[in-house]
Chain A
Amino acid sequence: DIQMTQSPSSLSASVGDRVTITCRASQGISNDLGWFQQKPGKAPKRLIHAASSQQSGVPSRFSGSGSGTEFTLTISSLQPEDFATYYCLQYNIYPPTFGQGTKVEIK
């Protein structure tokens, strides 16, 4: 199975900060990667698909980039409602595999 390694596993940031989360795949996955946000007690919600395509209705402060083995999710200006856990998911080679998650907390 492809291993997805997310970093950092957690971070503390302030409202207005620029935040970057990285996901590294154990082998090349083209651009077959999604990013998800999950708030406590809620279902995940997809933010990005195909590495850099925004899901409909997602605020423009969320952006994704990368291909091959290195991917990033950037939040350009962190808002109070963005404090959550973020996961990447590769779907290039089955089984699809998630990263371990990055918890974004309030500084």
Chain B
Amino acid sequence: GQNIDQPTEMTATEGAIVQINCTYQTSGFNGLFWYQQHAGEAPTFLSYNVLDGLEEKGRFSSFLSRSKGYSYLLLKELQMKDSASYLCAVNDYKLSFGAGTTVTVRA
């Protein structure tokens, strides 16, 4: 089975940094995805990690440790438009999603 855990909510101020953690226990593993989902919209792809280490993409970075079953998504220089739900998803021959972390950015 799959067990993917991430915090329910996080709040931060504009310009700050927020780190969203994700831990997982799955029957198979072929990489980990992060998706962003604004309220009422479809999820959109942010990042993909299949090997250990840090992947950087502009203001967003994602880290993976396969031995620890752990990943994080780092959002830097937060903007109001970053207020959204962030979904951690493990690829075990299908994508299994966590419940999502709602990030609220305050002015």
Decide if A and B are genuine partners: no
- List residues of chain B with CB under 8 Å of any chain A CB: none
- List residues of chain A with CB under 8 Å of any chain B CB: none
